[in-house]
Amino acid sequence: MDFSLSTEEREVRDWVRTFVQRELIPLEQEVLRRERAHQPGLTGEELKALQLKAKESGFWGVFTPEEYGGMGLSAVMAALLEAELGRTFVPFRFGGAADNILFHANEEQKQTYLLPTISGERKSCFAITEPGAGSDAKAIRTTARKDGTDWIINGEKTFITGGNEADFTMVFAITDPEKGANGGVTCFLVDREAGWKSEYIDTMGEWGPASLIFQDVRVPETQILGEEGRGFELAMQWIGQGRYLLPARAIGSCERLISMAIEHANTRETFGQKIAERQAIQWMIADSGVELEALRWLVLNAAWQVDQGIDSRHAQSMAKLYGGQKANEIVDRVLQIHGGMGYTRELPIERWYRELRLLRIYEGTDEIQRRTIARNLLKGHVKVGGVLG
């Protein structure tokens, strides 16, 4: 088994690492200052400027197929890039991206929605979660009623990432109550001008999701994405597009945090000794180092399965569950090693503490991942020891 990176993979990874070090990490103090003043960490103009700077070196649409002007990188490469971006909390993402299900658009829809999203002219959001239907996506209550050649949408979506900034949404609604999720849910492309409204949701972290309100929002039949009644399949495709990328980003965060803990332990003295000589500190760093490496291989194995065309849902659930659990334990230990200073806002540890807590909730809670993993094992979909295929 060869775990080494190819020359190209190493060069791509190293470029992103350098970009993060030179362009993003120097912005951290200003980002923290703005966030504490309840302002965006980066303005839209600043984000775009950084994206264009990356584009000059070819980093545009890193996951977008080459036929649409992207890099079309592999899943393993995507995981490596996310890990590098995770080394900072500056809210940067590469430009040139679009939700995977937008590629199911017809030619007219691609001109109106897909291509402008890839170019950065438009912003989208994915809207399936509802106040009474979080992890249970099949329990959605938003409806779309046929009226001539139009559909009238009523309902509410919640915790929608990018919902406050989006120009249009991919909203999922019940179009045939008798069929339910399997054949009765349809996805609609709905412009903000059609009449839906967004409301900001304040959270303990810097993630600012939205509630989307649909009250008699009328859309033409031509706005259906994919096929009528096949929306739930699209939703599952979106949700499963890359669950491994979430814990991948946590890898970079944990690498940076553990490095901070090591530096502090080798500097801080108590009772005449550096705390690095204390067994309690040594064990916290040792456990964190082991868990980080275990997480790295869970993520890379899940990504490798994606590249090989293997059904990777089980491996991705394992990576997501372990990543959420261990990233939170690691940041807690790092805070503990720093003592009172770790609890202050003078250091960015508390910022990561709040951010990483979200990893155990969104895009599939810990409990949902455990349910999925247990069901796969108990029903024989995956055999014990069969994660590697």
| 134: pLDDT strictly greater than 70 | no
Q: Give the gyration radius of the chain's Cα atoms.
A: 22
Average pLDDT over residues 287-313: 94
Residue 329: give its domain's CATH number. Answer: 1.20.140.10
Q: What is the reported pLDDT for 388?
A: 55
Please give the single-letter amino acid code of residue 307. D
Phi first, then psi: what are they for 246, rounded to 5°? -70, -55
Predicted confidence band of residue 239 (pLDDT cuts 50, 70, 90): confident
Out of 84, 255, 355, 363, the active site residue is 363
Kindly state the average pLDDT of the residues 298-308: 93
Are 374 and 259 found together in one domain? yes
Kindly report, residue by residue over 181-205, the tens digit of the pLDDT: 788 899 999 999 999 999 998 888 7
CA separation for the pair 190, 196 (Å, rounded): 8
Q: Which of the listed residues 194, 216, 238 is the one where a domain comes to its end? A: 238
pLDDT of residue 386: 67
Q: Say if 223 falls within a structural domain.
A: yes
Give the per-residue pLDDT at 387: 56
pLDDT score at 136: 67
Predicted pLDDT at 319: 96
Q: Are 69 and 147 in a shared domain? A: no
Instruction: Report whether pLDDT(389) > 60.
Output: no
Specify whether 373 is located in the same domain as 254.
yes
Is residue 314 pLDDT above 80, yes or no? yes
Average pLDDT, the chain: 91
My answer on whether 152 and 271 are in the same domain is no
Domain shared by 366 and 251, yes or no? yes
Active site residue 363: yes
pTM here is: 0.89
> What are 82-116's pLDDT values in tens digits?
999 999 999 999 999 998 889 999 999 999 999 99
Count: domains in the chain: 3
Q: Decide if pLDDT at 261 tops 70.
A: yes
For residue 385, tell me if it sits in a domain: no
Does 272 share its domain with 371? Answer: yes
In a domain, 154, yes or no: yes
The residue segments making up the domain with residue 145 are 107-111+119-238
180 and 206 both lie in a single domain: yes
Element holding 187 (H helix, E strand)? strand 185-191
- Specify whether 247 is located in the same domain as 286: yes
Evaluate whether 326 touches 295 at the Cβ level (below 8 Å): yes
pLDDT (tens digit per residue) in 38-63: 888 999 899 999 999 999 999 999 88
Residues 262 and 301 in one domain: yes
Query: How far from chain centre, in Å, is Cα 177?
Result: 31
- Domain holding 38: CATH number? 1.10.540.10
Residues 286 and 202 in one domain: no
Inform me whether the pLDDT recorded for 241 exceeds 90: no
At residue 140, does pLDDT exceed 90?
Answer: no
- Asked if residue 141 lies in contact with residue 132, where contact means CB atoms within 8 angstroms, the answer is yes
Same domain, 311 and 372: yes
Residue 1 lies in a domain: no
Judge whether residue 273 has pLDDT over 90: yes
Check whether residue 214 and residue 282 sit in a common domain: no
